[in-house]
Amino acid sequence: MNFASDNTAGVAAPILEAIAEASADFAGSYGGDRWTAALSARMAEVFEADVAVFPVVSGTAANILSMAAIARPWSGILCSHDAHIMTDECGGAEMLTGGAKLYGIDGRNAKIDVDVLSRRLETWPGGVPHHVQPAAISITQASEYGAVWTPEEVGAIGAVVRRHGLRLHMDGARFANAVAALGCAPADVTWRAGVDILSFGATKNGAMAAEAVIVFDRALADSLPFLRMRTGHLLSKSRFLAAQLLAYLDGGLWLELARHANRMAARLAAAIEATPAARLAAPVEANEVFAYLSASTDRALKAAGCAYHHWTSGIPDAANPPREGEVLCRFVASFQTSDAEVGRFAEIVGAG
């Protein structure tokens, strides 16, 4: 039972095979290969748009490159207090932008509240040089607390962003899980709703190390080749990045893997809801489960060797705080999570 994170999983078999196949012969380096070319075409189909695609090896890489593409050193970037770029990337966005400032915006389940955002922007002292100037909004899909943004919700943020002449970034570390949950077209929840640039994640959902910056507004792409190179994120054997992503997209593998993870998470959630010894701390909309556990249930799971995290850096929703004796825990399901594992979990929790 390993629910510690979706990045504790291995690599999906078709992706491993694609890596091996791509190795057979010589190929152009630094992106001058046929896999990279095919990936751009493939992403254009997936997103129904003439996107610019920059494959990289990590979500942090995709995020900091995106931030540097849309913000200047004196920019403000507004995001959730719990956004990965805010809390978990060791100031990478601040570094690569040359000193931009991240501002936390309130909201539930790590989704920023559109009204809070709107008020903040309306009262910003725009143009006054004493103050950092708002340039970008970043939202995470699915959010750090497992919530999924609907096309309508993204569109509402997008409308505010446009009104203020800003740019909208989506951190899609779990983009596949969100799209699988929504059942919508990838375009619906990105550029059609106002997203300018996307960190398209694959690693958490079955790739080895592969993400991509997807740029919907090509005017934003000019700086990215240079930013990627100077951060060491243009791989010499780029074909292996592209090959992973092609296999990931091929035949809808990405959504298939994500649907499995989501299903496993739903079963974990159902087990939690079925027992008085635990309760959900946030709605389970993708592949993450945040739950308050009784101390005894927590002990029982740990004793059974179940891997998961005690969550101490915050709670999903201020309106739903822990009660006396409860422990906030995070469980993440992945493409590799098995029915057996989830069944075992349900048993322990049911007995907890």
Longest dimension (CA), the chain: 62
CB of 170 to a copy of itself, least distance (A): 17
Residue 236, amino acid: S
Q: Which of 81, 237, 309, 344 binds a copy of itself (CB under 8 A)?
A: 237
Site string for a copy of itself, 182-211 (x = CB under 8 A): ---------------------xx---xx--
The angle subtended at Cα 40 by Cα 36 and Cα 43, nearest 5°, is 130
Nearest to 252 by CA among 332, 185, 154, 172: 185
- Alpha-carbon span 23 to 16, nearest angstrom: 11
The residue range among 38-46, 59-67, 150-158, 270-278 that interacts with a copy of itself, by the rule CB under 8 A, is 59-67
> With contact defined as beta carbons under 8 Å apart, do 79 and 112 qualify?
yes
Q: Verify binding: residue 252, a copy of itself, rule CB under 8 A.
A: no
Residue 144, amino acid: E
Q: Which of 77, 78, 102, 328 binds a copy of itself (CB under 8 A)?
A: 102
The residue range among 110-118, 229-237, 280-288, 317-325 that interacts with a copy of itself, by the rule CB under 8 A, is 229-237
The residue range among 22-30, 157-165, 281-289, 315-323 that interacts with a copy of itself, by the rule CB under 8 A, is 22-30
Instruction: Give whichever of 60 and 141 is closer to a copy of itself, judged by the CB atom.
Output: 60
Sheet of strand 327-332: strand arrangement: 278-280, 288-293, 327-332, 309-310
The residue range among 52-60, 155-163, 263-271, 298-306 that interacts with a copy of itself, by the rule CB under 8 A, is 52-60
Sites for a copy of itself among residues 113-132 (CB under 8 A) = 123, 125, 129-132
> With contact defined as beta carbons under 8 Å apart, do 131 and 124 qualify?
yes
Q: Which of 7, 116, 152, 299 binds a copy of itself (CB under 8 A)?
A: 7
Q: Verify binding: residue 56, a copy of itself, rule CB under 8 A.
A: yes
> With contact defined as beta carbons under 8 Å apart, do 106 and 167 qualify?
no
Q: Would you state the structure tokens that stand for residue 194, as one six-digit string?
A: 């106002």
Q: Verify binding: residue 9, a copy of itself, rule CB under 8 A.
A: yes
Q: Which of 37, 91, 270, 347 binds a copy of itself (CB under 8 A)?
A: 91
Nearest to 67 by CA among 199, 185, 188: 199
